[in-house]
Amino acid sequence: VIAEQATNIVLGLPLHKNGTISEQSTLTKEFGHILLQEVRKKCGRRVSVTLWDERYTSKEAASRIAAEAMARNKRIPTASDLEAQLDADAACIILEHYYKDFGKDAEEMVLGDKELEEKCDILYKEHLKRLEEERREAMEMREKGRNARREMIARARALEEQQSGTQIGGKKKKKKKRKK
């Protein structure tokens, strides 16, 4: 979420065919609530969690995959072949529908508890402080590394100058005087 700079997380809501809440819908809402709490602790209020009707998206994904296979004159994959791809494609379809409808009729998750919201806000601020401290420590470590490299280079130069001023055996080179 942070790396992608996302502002919204869309969860597919598995409703019954007639649009009523299913047992899986209830579990998804519970998961969405937990996810929202974690997101608020790490990202603050700038990221929301939204539920979107996912009815028929798996069937649409399977249909698209079969059509693509036929267009390429390939074998139509079986359901067991499709497991991972089907879920990924269905997730893409959920997002396509969400964006096509501009999120209209989506259900935005809310914490619903003022005390819990305040707790999440406090944890988010603490998280930001930790991130800032880690950033500062990393900068200090980089600076120490740069300083150590500078000192090493200075010592190497001094050693080179010292060695160029002496001969083998430790005697200093004498400069020949030129006669005029």
Tens of pLDDT, residues 21-52: 999 999 999 999 999 999 999 999 999 999 99
- Does position 82 have pLDDT exceeding 90, yes or no? no
- Does position 172 have pLDDT exceeding 60, yes or no? no
Tens digit of pLDDT for each residue in 132-167?
999 999 999 999 999 999 999 999 999 998 888 765
Q: Which two tokens stand for residue 64?
A: 């698209």
Separation between Cα atoms, residue 176 and residue 173, nearest integer Å? 9
**Selection from 96, 24, 107 nearest residue 64 by Cα:** 96
- Does position 109 have pLDDT exceeding 80, yes or no? yes
Separation between Cα atoms, residue 28 and residue 50, nearest integer Å? 11
| Beta carbons of 76 and 69 less than 8 angstroms apart | yes
The reported pLDDT for the residue numbered 85 is 86
Instruction: Give the neighbor-by-neighbor strand order of the sheet with 107-108.
Output: 8-13, 48-53, 107-108
- Confidence band of 1 (pLDDT split at 50, 70, 90): confident
Burial class (CB in 10 A: 0-12, 13-18, 19+), 94: buried
- pTM for the model stands at 0.71
